[in-house]
A = this chain, B = another copy of it.
Amino acid sequence: MGRLEIIPVEGVPEVRPGDRLADLLVAGSVAFEAGDVVVVTQKVVSKAEGRLVAVDHDNRRAWAAVVDGEAVRVLRRRGDLVITETRAGFVCANSGVDLSNVPDGYATLLPVDADRSARRIRDGLRARTGVEVAVVVSDTFGRPWRRGLADVAIGCAGIAAVVDLRGTSDARGRELTVTEVAVVDELAAAAELVMGKASGICAAVVRGVAPAWLVDGGSVRADIVRPPAEDLFR
């Protein structure tokens, strides 16, 4: 396997509700190539899909109502921080409701179905450019046991979410037992390294990914979200 390039997509116009993201992404600095993985941040996906709510963060009751409305379960609560499970099955802070980089008085909600969001962007890019890319929708999550935030995938299309190396033998010819790698999460993390949080860059391309990972389907919800019954920490 050769090298990868991670390329920020600069010059994407400001995203507004109702915009088609593919139209805006092709206006950016990168000419997409077949096999590229285009990582797009949740923030602009939610904006384009109109997943904005008016909320006054200083009004604790109003804020809590928005967060609770997105949750199916509260895992932990400490002061202002609440860790919830969202309807889509993500466990994250504040149900993914986010105030940064949105107009004052508004917050973004997570896309209803980020796999579908990824499929739409992928279809739009194919229609615009004739090029077949994969798309990952990323968001910034905290983690238990480890400080700091890291980007993960909340939706994907055109790439396997998890690449299953079970049964392939290791370098010594012995069978490996568990090596299901969450490649879409690693791609989201890699993309974040060129995006930063304050630079206004909403997308990045990972170029050079193994062709075997590129499939027609792909779903974070089906392959990454761990059902509660299978989970040791819920």
Contacts and interface: CB of A to CB of B under 8 A. Distances in A.
Nearest to A227: B147
A78 B232 CA distance: 8
Contact of A1 (B140, B199, B231): B199
Given A100-B174, A150-B182, A145 B233 contact: yes
Interface string A1-30: 111111110000000000000000000000
Nearest to A180: B148
B182 A200 contact: no
Contact of A225 (B146, B151, B171): B146
Interface stretch (A60-68, A126-134, A188-196): A188-196
A161 interface: yes
B180 A147 contact: yes
Interface stretch (A45-53, A108-116, A117-125, A162-170): A162-170
Chain A interface extent, by class: 35 or more
A103 B201 CA distance: 46
A6 to B, nearest CB: 4
Given A149-B179, A176-B197, A190-B193, 9 more contacts: A1-B201, A81-B232, A100-B174, A144-B226, A146-B224, A147-B225, A148-B180, A171-B200, A193-B209
Interface of A: 1-8, 75-76, 78, 81, 83, 90-91, 100-104, 140, 143-152, 161-162, 165, 168-172, 174, 176-183, 185-187, 189-190, 192-194, 196-201, 206, 209, 223-226, 231-234
